Protein backbone atom coordinates (compact mmCIF):
# COMPACT_ATOMS: atom_id res chain seq x y z
CA UNK A 1 0.00 0.00 0.00
CA UNK A 2 1.25 3.43 -0.92
CA UNK A 3 0.90 5.94 1.92
CA UNK A 4 1.24 9.73 1.84
CA UNK A 5 0.43 12.85 3.84
CA UNK A 6 -2.19 15.39 2.85
CA UNK A 7 -4.16 18.22 4.37
CA UNK A 8 -7.23 17.34 6.41
CA UNK A 9 -10.52 18.04 4.63
CA UNK A 10 -14.00 18.78 6.02
CA UNK A 11 -15.18 15.70 4.11
CA UNK A 12 -12.97 13.54 6.40
CA UNK A 13 -15.38 13.97 9.33
CA UNK A 14 -17.34 10.73 8.81
CA UNK A 15 -14.23 8.57 8.35
CA UNK A 16 -12.58 10.28 11.31
CA UNK A 17 -15.62 9.57 13.48
CA UNK A 18 -15.37 5.88 12.47
CA UNK A 19 -11.74 5.85 13.62
CA UNK A 20 -12.75 7.54 16.88
CA UNK A 21 -15.57 5.02 17.38
CA UNK A 22 -13.17 2.07 17.03
CA UNK A 23 -10.40 3.69 19.09
CA UNK A 24 -8.35 1.45 21.34
CA UNK A 25 -6.95 2.69 24.67
CA UNK A 26 -3.73 3.93 23.00
CA UNK A 27 -5.70 6.21 20.70
CA UNK A 28 -8.34 7.39 23.18
CA UNK A 29 -5.94 9.80 24.87
CA UNK A 30 -5.24 11.55 21.55
CA UNK A 31 -8.74 12.18 20.26
CA UNK A 32 -11.57 14.55 21.25
CA UNK A 33 -14.12 13.60 23.86
CA UNK A 34 -16.93 14.03 21.32
CA UNK A 35 -16.23 11.13 18.96
CA UNK A 36 -19.31 11.63 16.78
CA UNK A 37 -19.21 12.91 13.20
CA UNK A 38 -20.19 16.30 14.62
CA UNK A 39 -17.29 16.17 17.09
CA UNK A 40 -14.89 15.08 14.35
CA UNK A 41 -16.12 17.95 12.17
CA UNK A 42 -15.59 20.40 15.02
CA UNK A 43 -12.04 19.04 15.53
CA UNK A 44 -11.36 19.51 11.81
CA UNK A 45 -12.74 23.07 12.01
CA UNK A 46 -10.43 23.86 14.96
CA UNK A 47 -7.44 22.44 13.12
CA UNK A 48 -8.31 24.45 10.00
CA UNK A 49 -8.74 27.67 12.01
CA UNK A 50 -5.42 27.08 13.78
CA UNK A 51 -3.69 26.47 10.46
CA UNK A 52 -5.22 29.68 9.11
CA UNK A 53 -3.89 31.72 12.01
CA UNK A 54 -0.46 30.05 11.77
CA UNK A 55 -0.57 28.21 15.10
CA UNK A 56 -0.89 24.68 13.69
CA UNK A 57 0.14 22.51 10.78
CA UNK A 58 -1.61 19.14 10.45
CA UNK A 59 -1.46 16.27 7.99
CA UNK A 60 -3.69 13.27 7.56
CA UNK A 61 -1.80 10.03 6.96
CA UNK A 62 -3.69 8.31 4.15
CA UNK A 63 -3.49 5.16 2.05
CA UNK A 64 -3.47 5.12 -1.75
CA UNK A 65 -7.25 4.65 -1.67
CA UNK A 66 -7.45 7.85 0.45
CA UNK A 67 -8.33 5.81 3.55
CA UNK A 68 -7.48 7.60 6.79
CA UNK A 69 -4.71 5.94 8.78
CA UNK A 70 -3.64 8.63 11.22
CA UNK A 71 -2.53 12.16 11.99
CA UNK A 72 0.71 14.01 12.50
CA UNK A 73 0.69 17.66 13.52
CA UNK A 74 2.33 20.64 15.07
CA UNK A 75 0.19 22.77 17.35
CA UNK A 76 0.94 25.71 19.57
CA UNK A 77 3.24 27.13 16.91
CA UNK A 78 4.82 30.18 18.51
CA UNK A 79 6.75 32.44 16.13
CA UNK A 80 8.56 34.67 18.63
CA UNK A 81 10.52 31.76 20.09
CA UNK A 82 10.10 29.54 17.01
CA UNK A 83 8.64 26.53 18.83
CA UNK A 84 5.87 23.99 18.24
CA UNK A 85 4.28 21.04 20.05
CA UNK A 86 4.20 17.78 18.09
CA UNK A 87 1.63 15.00 18.25
CA UNK A 88 0.89 11.90 16.21
CA UNK A 89 -1.41 8.90 16.19
CA UNK A 90 -2.34 5.94 14.02
CA UNK A 91 -5.42 3.77 13.97
CA UNK A 92 -4.54 0.39 15.43
CA UNK A 93 -4.61 -1.46 12.08
CA UNK A 94 -1.92 0.86 10.69
CA UNK A 95 0.59 0.42 13.52
CA UNK A 96 3.80 -1.56 13.37
CA UNK A 97 4.73 -0.63 9.79
CA UNK A 98 6.87 2.45 10.47
CA UNK A 99 4.20 4.85 9.17
CA UNK A 100 4.18 7.13 12.21
CA UNK A 101 7.98 7.39 12.11
CA UNK A 102 8.04 8.16 8.37
CA UNK A 103 5.21 10.69 8.76
CA UNK A 104 6.94 12.38 11.69
CA UNK A 105 10.24 12.64 9.79
CA UNK A 106 8.37 14.31 6.91
CA UNK A 107 6.64 16.70 9.30
CA UNK A 108 9.92 17.55 11.04
CA UNK A 109 11.59 18.36 7.71
CA UNK A 110 8.66 20.56 6.67
CA UNK A 111 8.53 22.42 9.98
CA UNK A 112 12.27 23.09 10.09
CA UNK A 113 12.87 23.77 6.39
CA UNK A 114 9.67 25.35 5.09
CA UNK A 115 8.10 26.90 8.19
CA UNK A 116 11.45 27.74 9.82
CA UNK A 117 10.47 26.49 13.26
CA UNK A 118 13.59 25.96 15.32
CA UNK A 119 12.48 23.89 18.34
CA UNK A 120 9.98 21.03 18.22
CA UNK A 121 8.73 19.48 21.45
CA UNK A 122 6.65 16.42 22.30
CA UNK A 123 5.80 14.16 25.20
CA UNK A 124 4.75 10.56 25.59
CA UNK A 125 3.83 8.21 28.41
CA UNK A 126 6.79 6.18 29.65
CA UNK A 127 4.64 3.05 29.41
CA UNK A 128 4.27 3.64 25.65
CA UNK A 129 7.68 2.66 24.25
CA UNK A 130 6.35 2.59 20.68
CA UNK A 131 5.66 6.33 20.82
CA UNK A 132 9.13 6.89 22.23
CA UNK A 133 10.66 4.96 19.34
CA UNK A 134 8.72 7.09 16.83
CA UNK A 135 10.12 10.25 18.43
CA UNK A 136 13.66 8.85 18.54
CA UNK A 137 13.48 7.80 14.88
CA UNK A 138 12.79 11.42 13.94
CA UNK A 139 15.77 12.72 15.92
CA UNK A 140 14.02 13.81 19.12
CA UNK A 141 16.17 13.68 22.26
CA UNK A 142 14.70 13.05 25.71
CA UNK A 143 15.09 16.11 27.91
CA UNK A 144 13.39 14.90 31.05
CA UNK A 145 10.64 13.08 32.85
CA UNK A 146 7.45 14.59 34.20
CA UNK A 147 6.20 12.49 37.08
CA UNK A 148 2.50 11.65 37.16
CA UNK A 149 1.76 14.25 34.49
CA UNK A 150 -1.25 12.56 32.89
CA UNK A 151 -4.42 11.15 34.43
CA UNK A 152 -6.44 8.55 32.51
CA UNK A 153 -9.27 6.62 34.13
CA UNK A 154 -8.01 7.41 37.62
CA UNK A 155 -4.44 6.27 36.90
CA UNK A 156 -1.47 8.67 36.83
CA UNK A 157 1.25 8.26 34.19
CA UNK A 158 4.77 9.63 33.97
CA UNK A 159 5.78 11.18 30.66
CA UNK A 160 9.06 11.80 28.93
CA UNK A 161 9.55 15.12 27.22
CA UNK A 162 11.66 15.21 24.09
CA UNK A 163 12.72 17.90 21.65
CA UNK A 164 14.68 18.39 18.49
CA UNK A 165 16.24 21.51 17.09
CA UNK A 166 16.64 22.56 13.49
CA UNK A 167 20.39 22.25 14.06
CA UNK A 168 20.19 18.62 15.28
CA UNK A 169 21.13 15.81 12.89
CA UNK A 170 18.17 14.65 10.80
CA UNK A 171 16.58 11.32 11.57
CA UNK A 172 17.50 8.83 8.88
CA UNK A 173 14.87 6.68 7.28
CA UNK A 174 11.94 6.75 4.95
CA UNK A 175 9.72 9.81 4.62
CA UNK A 176 6.17 9.89 3.32
CA UNK A 177 5.36 12.04 0.30
CA UNK A 178 3.49 15.23 1.20
CA UNK A 179 0.65 16.19 -1.12
CA UNK A 180 -0.72 19.54 0.11
CATH number of the domain enclosing 22? 3.40.630.30
Q: Which of 12, 32, 8, 6 is closest to 21 using CA atoms?
A: 32
Angle at the Cα of 93 from the Cα atoms of 151 and 154, rounded to 5 degrees? 15
Name the pTM for this structure: 0.93
* Packed helices 99-109 and 129-137: angle between N→C axes, nearest 10 degrees: 40
Cβ count within 10 A of residue 130:
13
Residue 73 gets the label, from left (phi > 0), alpha (psi -120 to 50) or beta, of beta
> 57-110, pLDDT tens digit by residue?
999 999 989 999 999 999 999 999 999 999 999 998 899 999 999 999 999 999
- Domain span at residue 133? 3-179
Mean pLDDT in residue range 131-157 = 94
Q: For residue 31, is pLDDT > 80?
A: no
Number of domains in the chain: 1
Q: Which of 59, 82, 60, 78 is closest to 69 using CA atoms?
A: 60
| Neighbouring residues of 36: CB distance < 8 A, sequence distance ≥ 6 | 17, 20
Q: Which of 108, 105, 127 is closest to 117 using CA atoms?
A: 108
Distance (Å, rounded) from C-alpha 74 to C-alpha 77? 7
Q: For residue 24, is pLDDT > 90?
A: no
- Residue 175: what pLDDT? 97
Q: Are 116 and 54 in contact (CB under 8 A)?
A: no
Amino acid sequence: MSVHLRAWRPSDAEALAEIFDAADPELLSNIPDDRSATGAGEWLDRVSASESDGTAYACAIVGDDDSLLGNVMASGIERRHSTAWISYWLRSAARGRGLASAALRTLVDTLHDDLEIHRLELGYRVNNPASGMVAKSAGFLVEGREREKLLYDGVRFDTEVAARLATDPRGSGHRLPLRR
